Amino acid sequence: MALTLVPSALVLPVTAVERVLRIATVVLVLIVELLNSSIEAAIDRIGFDTHLLSKRAKDLGSVAVLLELLLLASTWGLVLAPWLATLGAAR
């Protein structure tokens, strides 16, 4: 996803601030996903047996990734909405 979104952020006609916001949300998804993966690896290192706290830690990491993906979608949507509206009006 990052391989598609970052180049499109550089190409589409938006302001510098909007470009930075779009790239930052993509990078933030990667950071949160790395943190989630590290939590899961640490929990799995301890053992594969089901433990309430282990499950909670993994679930909260997954929720963090989901929230960041929602932030990415809303940021990209808000930034691209005026641009898409001008495309629709031109037709």
Tell me the catalytic residues: 33
Neighbours of 61 (CB within 10 A): 19
